[in-house]
Structure 1
Amino acid sequence: MEVYLVRHTETVCEKGICYGQSDVGICEPYDIVFESILNQLPQDAVLYSSPLQRCAILAKNIQKNTKIDSIIEDSRLMEMNFGDWELKSWDDIPQEVLNPWMADFVNVRVPNGESFVDLNERVVDFLENEIPKEIEKPLIIVAHAGVIRSVLCKINNLPLQEAFKAPLDYGTVIKVEI
């Protein structure tokens, strides 16, 4: 099955802000970026999206400009929950709290948030229990960098520690076969 993994476009957050599951908007104008994304996608597909507005806005645009009937929003596709760090500058997070997480982001939970393992468990649950086994249309999944990296680790059988080795820019479309 063809799957198109689409990362949301650039957010309104300043560089260096940790925004995980905070529901931040996207930079405007976004028409040109959205058009570029649309040109890489099939006209008819099953469309899933994170419910966070930075993904939902893009998903609605994809639906409006294709033959796709509906958007299935799923909270398992939300970005990592950064708990106490949400909307803080990375520079303002105390080093004694940040360093252990930086040394092992896969297993160490953010205070009152998630680890990458937690995010991965959500994403794997989505992949294994939400996507119909016999589906004739391609899938489009509009999500976040952490979610897309988790999907790529799962389908490529990569350890989670390798999830951040490749760049994943805003508005990137990755076509994979599952």
Structure 2
Amino acid sequence: MEIYLIRHTTPDIERGICYGQSDMPLKDTFPLEAKHILESIPKQFDKVYSSPLQRCTQLAVLIDKNYITDNRLKELDFGSWELKKWSDIPNADIQPWYNDWVNTPADKGESYQELQNRAVSFINTIPNHYNKIAIVTHSGVIRSLWAYFNTIDLKNSFNVLSIEYGAVLKIKYSKI
């Protein structure tokens, strides 16, 4: 199966704000960014899946109006840190997460390992008979799945893979 992991386009939010599962609108550059993405992917997919957040669904509907949303494709849940400036999160709260962000959840949120667990759970529900699917999602989900598919330790997934807004990664995957 070919899986196209597609990151949403640029959100309309100030740099330095924590916004994992917050439903952010997109910048007015969306039409141009979407055009570039659509030109770089196949025209037809067996199925298109998307995070339910609008920064993903606005692109998913352009790929296939019959796309399917799944909560397991949402970005990392940063809990009480959502929509705060990273610099405003007290050091005592954020330092344990900085020390082990793979296993330590954000305050009232989730850990990166928990994100990967739900993303892999989603992948395991995709029917085997599909040849080509698209998944419109977020950088955390894409990195966690890339690590899973390539047996890379999660703590290294940010070092080996840069994912810009609108990035498209193609994976060949066979379920066993």
Residue 64 of structure 2 aligns with which residue? 63
**Aligned equivalents of 1:92 and 1:12: distance in 2?**
20
**Aligned equivalents of 2:68 and 2:62: distance in 1?**
14
Residue 100 of structure 2 aligns with which residue? 104
Residue 87 of structure 1 aligns with which residue? 83
Answer yes or no: is the 8 Å Cα contact 2:102–2:111 preserved in 1: yes
Q: Which runs of 4+ in 1 moved over 6 A?
A: none
Gaps (5+ residues) in structure 2?
none
SS of residue in 2 equivalent to 1:4:
strand
**Aligned equivalents of 1:127 and 1:104: distance in 2?**
25
Q: Percent identity?
A: 44
Q: For residue 28 of structure 2, what is the amino acid of its counterpart? A: E
Q: Deviations over 1:44-90 (max 9, x none)?
A: 101000000000111112225xxxxx101000000010001000000
Give the TM-score, by structure 2 length: 0.94
Give the TM-score, by structure 1 length: 0.93
Let me know the Cα RMSD of the aligned residues. 0.9
Does residue 9 of structure 1 match 2:3? no
Within a 5 Å distance, the mapping from 1:129-148 to structure 2 comes to 130-136=125-131, 138-148=132-142
**Aligned equivalents of 1:85 and 1:30: distance in 2?**
26
SS of residue in 2 equivalent to 1:107:
coil
**Deviation (angstroms), 1:34:** 0.6
Gaps (5+ residues) in structure 1?
65-69
Larger displacement relative to structure 2 (94-103 or 71-80): 94-103
Answer yes or no: is the 8 Å Cα contact 2:10–2:29 preserved in 1: no
**Aligned equivalents of 1:164 and 1:29: distance in 2?**
26
**Aligned equivalents of 2:108 and 2:92: distance in 1?**
16
2:116 to 117, 120, 138: 120
**Deviation (angstroms), 1:29:** 3.1
SS of residue in 2 equivalent to 1:20:
coil
Larger displacement relative to structure 2 (31-40 or 79-88): 31-40
Aligned residues: 171
Q: For residue 35 of structure 1, what is the amino acid of its counterpart? A: K
1:77 to 73, 95, 98: 73
